Structure 1
Amino acid sequence: IDTDIMQTSQKKSNPKRLSVERIYQKKTQLEHILLRPDSYIGSVEPVTQQMWVYDVDVGLNCRDVTFVPGLYKIFDEILVNAADNKQRDKSMSCIKVNIDVENNTISVWNNGKGIPVVEHKVEKVYVPALIFGQLLTSSNYDDEQKKVTGGRNGYGAKLCNIFSTKFTVETACKESRKTFKQTWYDNMGRAGDTNIKAFDGEEFTCITFKFIHAVVFCISGWQTHRLRG
């Protein structure tokens, strides 16, 4: 009986050891971003901070606002891209933001210069697909050029693509005389077909994304705030 007790005790004190493969793991960059989102977009938990907001009833006021920094970050990446286009095209005059609360979908449209709808000769992919669908691509890598736009590390809008279940890029370019449309699915894991058409009209770029809701961003609904810019 004593022997049985000792053997049982030894089993409890020596749990099954994890394999080397289980202890030491390598992830792809895409997997790492999804596994450790806080390293790239900030917290995915709701936080409450005092901020200046505009309320219809009382106007501009400072009060507590609850939001998710990570969700704010991916939206901001797309909005900054649209605003940056003003630096490239002084004739740009409009940015439109549409938020579909029921479908967790946001679109950002601007009437500035379109993205070149041409194939990148080195990467063998259309430029819009390169800059929105592949990590570590950027137009700001040349450190000798004066920086007047946001983003320089090659993540930017791709983070929004990665944290979305559906991400669509549309652009029209006068110089290329073409329009481009492509949709990515499942956290940038799957790219739809590229749609290229002849074009002779006004330039624009529109990004539409359906972000991961409660799966990553710990929110159960929307709160409406107009933040002071």
Structure 2
Amino acid sequence: MACIDKESRSPCSSAASNAGETPRGRILLRPQDYIGSIEKCTRKIWVAEVSSFTHRAVTYVPGLYKIFDEVLIYAADNKQSDPSMDSLRVEIDVHQGLISIYYNGKGVPIELHPEKGLYLPEMTFSHLSSHEEISGWLSNCYEEQTGRRNSYGVKLANLFSTEFAVETVDSRREKKFKQGVNWTRITFKPDLAKFCMTHLDDDVIALMKKRVVDVGGFLGVTGQVVFNGATLLQFRNFRDYALCYTRSVSKNTKRKISCVYHRVNGSLEVCVAPSQGTFQQVSFVNKFATTEGGTHVDFVSHQIAYRVAKCCNERLQLQVEESEVKKHLFIIVNLVMENPSFNSLARDALTSPHESFVLCCEISDDFVKHIVNCIASTLFPWDSSKRTKALKRRG
């Protein structure tokens, strides 16, 4: 087992004297370019409370949320390099301001870099300057993990924490302090002063829990996800996860909301439900939550709205504009793609051109028909009898 702790390698002392001259100094000087804003903001966003999702106003610091997310997705991505991974546990100690994320399966090999003379875990979690050079070496040891590409990733959590420790067991190489199965635990204490905070409040915890539930949706039945000692509901698949949103809307509106799911291919999954009169989206790219949407959401929503409007106009003789259809869509998109581009290192919105994923976005006719049925009551509320006849006439 290899252990890495922060101890004397404090980023702050280095940045103070060399601000802007080193990667560490540049990040600390302009944190908004790497983790998002370090000031509190209030947005209406989905969070997890008790046993359901809630869409409400949340006050939080995007930068703090992002460093937590980097560690969480780093842990979840281990499933790609080791399919035997079946456990992920997140513990948040509010009183100590301490966050711990544990996962099993093989982690970073405990090997010395042939040129640097440093252990790979230390380079992976601590050395910003080794970001590029270590990636090639690690790719020879295990499959490159999608979530960490083109970013300092988990190292940002180290940089913005007063404490950061990694414990990892490499049973294959038998380089550890005690025998056991492969596992890794990352424990860190965010430097709350950098985020103008004194403690981890309820809004932050609800937002972090939501992201842990998201990961449960990606792992499905193959992984047990635990949050603060409580085992979260295991989702059979992404569709099962998406139903959490429609159940929440149904609860708030006092009416049953249906959801239509379509797995376009191995790279794209789409769920569609009726919105409350304005377009809504929840989307992910390589497990990262693209809260501001992006080109994948634009492309998928355009395809759906265009096809639904065409179906209504040509086959059902129910005249409707594409823009009107979009207002009644609540879409949930899960996209996996190579080398995505984002609006910033915070990854709030995908900016990759349509051409990079257009081939995986063919919407089937059956899916369009199901969407028409799903949103018909909100799209055409004015005449239920005419709507019913038109839908039956479609065949």
TM norm structure 2: 0.43
- CA shift, 1:170, in A, is 0.7
- CA shift, 1:49, in A, is 1.3
The residue type paired with residue 149 of structure 1 is T
2:57 maps to which of 60, 64, 67: 64
Instruction: Please say if residues 80 and 145 of structure 2, whose CA atoms lie closer than 8 Å, have aligned partners that are also in contact.
Output: yes
Instruction: Please say if residues 169 and 182 of structure 2, whose CA atoms lie closer than 8 Å, have aligned partners that are also in contact.
Output: yes
CA distance in 2, matches of 1:174, 1:147: 20
| Residue 202 (structure 2) pairs with residue 219 (structure 1) | no
1:48 maps to which of 42, 48, 54: 42
For structure 2, the residue ranges without an aligned partner over 5 or more in a row are 1-18, 215-395
CA distance in 1, matches of 2:63, 2:191: 11
Instruction: Please say if residues 49 and 64 of structure 1, whose CA atoms lie closer than 8 Å, have aligned partners that are also in contact.
Output: yes
Partner SS for 1:216: helix
Partner SS for 1:137: helix
Higher relative contact order (CA 8 A, sep 6+): 1
Moved over 4 A (4+): 138-142, 144-148
| Residue 186 (structure 2) pairs with residue 207 (structure 1) | yes
| Residue 151 (structure 2) pairs with residue 172 (structure 1) | no
CA distance in 1, matches of 2:67, 2:86: 23
1:104 maps to which of 89, 92, 97: 97
Q: Counterparts in 2 of 1:109-188, with a 5 A limit? A: 109-135=102-128, 136-137=130-131, 140=135, 149-179=146-176
Structure having the larger proportion of residues in strand = 1
1:32 maps to which of 3, 26, 32: 26
CA distance in 2, matches of 1:114, 1:33: 26
Between 1:147-156 and 1:123-132, the stretch displaced more is 147-156
CA distance in 2, matches of 1:147, 1:200: 27
The residue type paired with residue 64 of structure 2 is L
The aligned counterpart of 1:86 is: 79
For structure 1, the residue ranges without an aligned partner over 5 or more in a row are 1-24, 180-196
Instruction: Please say if residues 107 and 182 of structure 2, whose CA atoms lie closer than 8 Å, have aligned partners that are also in contact.
Output: yes
Partner SS for 1:110: strand
The aligned counterpart of 1:75 is: 68
Change in 2 beyond 3 A, CA 1:26/1:134? closer
Q: Counterparts in 2 of 1:8-27, with a 5 A limit? A: 27=21
The residue type paired with residue 201 of structure 1 is G
Over residues 24-44 of structure 1, what are the superposed CA-to-partner deviations in whole Å (9 max), with x where a residue is unaligned?
x85322122112111111100
Change in 2 beyond 3 A, CA 1:141/1:121? closer
CA distance in 1, matches of 2:47, 2:152: 29
Between 1:216-225 and 1:124-133, the stretch displaced more is 216-225
- CA shift, 1:154, in A, is 4.9
Change in 2 beyond 3 A, CA 1:37/1:44? same
How many residue pairs get aligned? The number is 184
Over residues 123-176 of structure 1, what are the superposed CA-to-partner deviations in whole Å (9 max), with x where a residue is unaligned?
21011011111114256569x999662122351111111101111011001111
Change in 2 beyond 3 A, CA 1:126/1:28? same
TM norm structure 1: 0.72
Instruction: Please say if residues 114 and 174 of structure 1, whose CA atoms lie closer than 8 Å, have aligned partners that are also in contact.
Output: no
Instruction: Please say if residues 119 and 126 of structure 1, whose CA atoms lie closer than 8 Å, have aligned partners that are also in contact.
Output: yes
Change in 2 beyond 3 A, CA 1:200/1:55? closer
The residue type paired with residue 75 of structure 1 is F
The residue type paired with residue 50 of structure 1 is K
The residue type paired with residue 30 of structure 1 is R
The residue type paired with residue 121 of structure 1 is P
Over residues 68-107 of structure 1, what are the superposed CA-to-partner deviations in whole Å (9 max), with x where a residue is unaligned?
1100111111111110100011111011111111111101
- CA shift, 1:53, in A, is 2.5
